[in-house]
Amino acid sequence: MEDVKGCNVGEGKININETCKCSEDATKEDEFESTKSEMRGVSEENLRLKTLLQQIEKEYKSLQMKFMDIFHQEFNKNGNPFPEKSCFDQDQEQELVSLRLGTNPDPTQPKKEDNHMITSTKNDELKLGLECNLEGLTDKNPGPENYSKKEDDEAGEKWPPGKVLKTQRSGDEEFSQTNVKRARVCVRAKCDTPTMNDGCQWRKYGQKIAKGNPCPRAYYRCTASPSCPVRKQVQRCVEDMSILITTYEGTHNHPLPLSATAMASTTAAAASMLLSGSSTSQPSATTNLYTLPPFHTNYSSSSPFPTITLDLTTTATHGGFSLYSPSSRTPATNLSFSSMESNMVPTVWGNGGFCYGSLPHKNDQKLQSYLEKFNQGSSQQALTETLTKVITSDPNFRSVIAAAISSMATSGGENLGQK
């Protein structure tokens, strides 16, 4: 590079001496110099971001360790020695890795995803997806190497609505498990495109005109994995055609591309939060979610499954968003998430990993109840931080950095987001 530069500069000087095309050469030289300095700047920026990411990763790891310590202590306190390398432990580690900083769980995944992500965010599209292999928790040995096995399992477990409904009625435990799958997260967002680009791969399998809305409702299923049970419905809001209502159902049973992780944790957190409350003995009653104001889970006649709605259409006005159930859109029941002042803790993985409804450990009720408590406590923060960060940060960085910041943000995170 330097050699080439020198050569060009030299030639330029010769030209200056030998000909009278001074102005042209001077312009070229200027251009070259400015490009050079531009590149220097970009390199520096690159380096700075790298350092920042490393720092974030470090902090995340230490926090992760702290959490595990606390968890072990808490668990031992309950007179139940924490199982070394239990399946839960392994699950946790799997989850922690898979959700960490929104990095691509599959290291072999090409950078193509990143590029796609950046270009798509330029269009100001939302990144969505349901990260967290909740189903994985039902497996004794979850993890990438088990996907094929799980796919087999789930091939016979695709949930046609009727069958799911039947199992729901067959027992509490089954109810909670199917509920995990069927918990719906509805996202309202302004979007000009037919669907939101959430980073996942979807295949349309149907379209219907739903009653009360002239706009057709489109049905998509996730195609990233043949057995992935996740589906989404996309429909324009009848009151405001610019608002796109996307309803997600189920959880991905495969690693997601980086571009899909930002909102993945968000919807997972929302679902987790919803399920934390709805899996109590009175699903339709007001739910107490730790310190959250009460909100009502929604069981519509058309869908017997709880639905939680994330309203991203209000971000422009107050820099946050609200969360409510469609049946109770009143200020009292809305949850506003505009605060950035909360103590930042890495909670994204907590929600992905601690959706307790999917825990299969029938014999370990203490563990489960602890997770319930933990989950309820962490959901709010996760939701708050994840969503607020993702939505309010600079669109150009939303998908790349937001996932990292959302879980790991420190006080300096805001600056990074703006960059």
Q: What is the 3-state secondary structure (H, E, C) of the chain?
A: CHHHHHHHHHHHHHHHHHCCCHHHHHHHHHHHHHHHHHHHHHHHHHHHHHHHHHHHHHHHHHHHHHHHHHHHHHHHHCCCCCCCCCHHHHHHHHHHHHHHHHCCCCCCCCCHHHHHHHHHHHCCCCCCCCCCCHHHHHCCCCCHHHHHHHHHHHHCCCCCHHHHHHHHHHCHHHHHHHHHHHCEEEEEEECCCCCCCCCCCEEEEEEEECCCCCCEEEEEEECCCCCCCCEEEEEECCCCCCEEEEEEECCCCCCCCHHHHHHHHHHHHHHHHHHHHHCCCCCCCCECCCCCCCECCECCCCCCCCEEEEECCCHHHHCCCEEECHHHCCCCCCEECCCCCCCCCCCHHHHHHCCHHHCCCCCCHHHHHHHHHHHHHHHHHHHHHHHHHHHHCCHHHHHHHHHHHHHHCCCCHHHHHHC
- The stretch among 30-38, 195-203, 325-333, 406-414 that binds DNA (CB under 7 A) is 195-203
Q: Give whichever of 107 and 212 is closer to DNA, judged by the CB atom.
A: 212
Work out which of 208, 318, 329, 366 binds DNA, going by CB under 7 A: 208
Rounded to the nearest whole angstrom, what is the least distance from the CB of residue 169 to DNA in the complex?
9
- Under the binding rule (CB under 7 A), the answer on residue 251 touching DNA is no
Rounded to the nearest whole angstrom, what is the least distance from the CB of residue 175 to DNA in the complex?
14
Rounded to the nearest whole angstrom, what is the least distance from the CB of residue 268 to DNA in the complex?
20
- The stretch among 147-155, 162-170, 263-271, 378-386 that binds DNA (CB under 7 A) is 162-170
Site for DNA in 266-295 (CB under 7 A): none
Q: Give whichever of 161 and 412 is closer to DNA, judged by the CB atom.
A: 161
- Under the binding rule (CB under 7 A), the answer on residue 226 touching DNA is no
Rounded to the nearest whole angstrom, what is the least distance from the CB of residue 161 to DNA in the complex?
5
- Under the binding rule (CB under 7 A), the answer on residue 149 touching DNA is no
Rounded to the nearest whole angstrom, what is the least distance from the CB of residue 315 to DNA in the complex?
26
* Residues 163-182 as x/- pattern, contact with DNA by CB under 7 A: --xx----------------
Work out which of 143, 144, 304, 360 binds DNA, going by CB under 7 A: 304
Partners of 246 in the beta sheet? 187, 234
Rounded to the nearest whole angstrom, what is the least distance from the CB of residue 201 to DNA in the complex?
7
Q: Give whichever of 156 and 212 is closer to DNA, judged by the CB atom.
A: 212
Work out which of 79, 156, 162, 331 binds DNA, going by CB under 7 A: 162
Q: Which amino acid is at 13?
A: K
Work out which of 301, 317, 343, 418 binds DNA, going by CB under 7 A: 301
Rounded to the nearest whole angstrom, what is the least distance from the CB of residue 103 to DNA in the complex?
24
Q: Give whichever of 40 and 112 is closer to DNA, judged by the CB atom.
A: 112
356 neighbors 276 (Cβ within 8 angstroms): yes
Rounded to the nearest whole angstrom, what is the least distance from the CB of residue 219 to DNA in the complex?
5
286 neighbors 218 (Cβ within 8 angstroms): no
- Under the binding rule (CB under 7 A), the answer on residue 238 touching DNA is no
Give CA–CA dist 395/328, Å, rounded: 31
Q: How many residues line the site for DNA (CB under 7 A)? A: 27
Q: Give whichever of 134 and 359 is closer to DNA, judged by the CB atom.
A: 134
- Under the binding rule (CB under 7 A), the answer on residue 150 touching DNA is no
- Under the binding rule (CB under 7 A), the answer on residue 248 touching DNA is no
Q: Give whichever of 13 and 208 is closer to DNA, judged by the CB atom.
A: 208
Binding site for DNA (CB under 7 A): 158, 160-162, 165-166, 201-208, 210-212, 217-219, 223, 231, 233, 301-304
